[in-house]
Amino acid sequence: MTNTNRNFHNAPMTITIRSLHAQNDGAEVALRVLLESGEHREEQRLLLTVEQYYELKPVRGVIDEETYERLEDASKLCQAIRCGENLLSYGANSVQMLTQKLIQRGFLRETAAQAAQRLREMGLIDEESDLRREFEICLGKLWGSKRIYAHLWNRGFGNEALSELPALLEEVDFAENCAKLVCKHYAVIPTEHDERRRLIASLGRYGYSLAEIREAFGKIEK
């Protein structure tokens, strides 16, 4: 990311685009920009997506500071998009989660959010499909509905994706899943009061309601 100090000794500054060339199989355009103020000279390299290049239409020669700032902001967004693409190659992310990861890598919140939204528009983030896959993983762990909802919320899924969750939850017999969880970890349901209470508390942490736990115990005892 560029971080240019444009107050070179408070002297007038000249900004010149020295060169432009395509790279990454034409997906990006790299700009070499020279900033001069008195005896101070500094060269910056800016990177634009092809879409940004056609939108901003930079050309070789002297540009004003406002134009440079637009190019600099676009370059930061381009870098955030490329960083986001790399993060997504390691696994699915929601828009919110990817935004947070980009912030952790040094991008400003606004830039990170714009990059994550752009990647969603490009089809690289599909929160609805990702939520369904994550939901199936949670079911495989025999989690209850409360823990599943909390997990998906913490993963940063937005309201639009979470709106599908109630319909998915309705299709699951959570009392049956709770019974499977008990049988997986206990040979029999404890009869001693304190042990039974600890088991109920444990199942509650898995996300099951007291009604589901009681129904699960009834299934097992039958």
Question: Could you list the residue range(s) of the whole structural domain that residue 84 is in?
Answer: 14-88
Same domain for 204 and 143: yes
How far apart are alpha carbons 185 and 179 in whole angstroms? 10
- Region 139-152: mean pLDDT is 96
Residues 146 and 212 in one domain: yes
Report the number of distinct structural domains present in the chain. Answer: 2
Give 154-193 pLDDT, tens digit per residue: 888 888 889 999 999 999 999 999 999 999 887 778 888 9
Domain assignment present for residue 119? The answer is no
Helices (H), the chain: 50-56, 65-88, 95-104, 109-121, 127-140, 145-154, 159-162, 165-170, 174-185, 193-205, 210-221
Residue at 173 is within a domain: yes
How crowded is the C-beta side of 218, counted as CA atoms within 13 Å? 7
- Give this prediction's pTM: 0.72
Q: What is the mean pLDDT of the chain?
A: 91
Q: What is the pLDDT of residue 1?
A: 42
User: According to the model, what pLDDT value does residue 9 have?
Assistant: 53
Output the six-digit token pair for 188: 């029999």
The whole-angstrom separation of Cα 135 and Cα 172 is 11
Say whether both 59 and 136 belong to one domain.
no
